[in-house]
Structure 1
Amino acid sequence: MEIPRFLLGDNTDCPEAIFVIHTEFPRFIINLVDDEIEWLEEFSKEDEEELTHQTENLIEEASLFYDREVERYQA
């Protein structure tokens, strides 16, 4: 099975949250409401430095994915 790079997540226990799941390394779940990220990986110190540089881009990509999906639902 081929899993898309980003997935939308929903949970009725968190009705205000907008979850986007990133399925490739570094895997994470982001709540776009407050940009809180839950990493699904363990990182070494060297990885953490690289992630600092990637995080901003990953948040932007997750936001663009969400906007695109919402637009498709509304069409």
Structure 2
Amino acid sequence: MNLPKFLMGDNTDFNEDIFVIHTEFPRFVINLVDDEIEWFEDFQGADQEELENEVASLIEQASAFYDREMERYQND
């Protein structure tokens, strides 16, 4: 199965939160309300350094994905 790079997540237990799921390595869920990230990977050594370099870019991509999706919903 081919998955999109980002998915939107919703849960009525978290009414105010906006979740975006990143499905590629490194996999994570970000709450765009407070930028809290839950990683699905265990990082060590060199992986940790590489991750730190990618985090800002991944957050920007997740935010851009959400903005694009919301714009599409509003236009429909």
| Runs of 5+ unmatched residues, structure 1 | none
- Identity across the alignment (%): 68
* 3-state SS of paired residue (2:16): coil
Corresponding letter in the other structure for 2:61: E
* 3-state SS of paired residue (1:48): helix
TM-score normalised per structure 1:
0.98
Find the aligned partners of 1:34 and 1:45 in 2 and give their Cα distance.
27
Corresponding letter in the other structure for 1:41: E
**How far has the Cα of 1:45 moved from its partner?**
1.6
> Which aligned segments of 4 or more residues in structure 1 are displaced greater than 3 angstroms?
none
TM-score normalised per structure 2:
0.96
Q: How many residues align?
A: 75
Task: Map 1:1-75; keep pairs closer than 5 Å.
Answer: 1-75=1-75
Alignment RMSD (CA, Å): 0.5
Find the aligned partners of 2:17 and 2:40 in 1 and give their Cα distance.
18
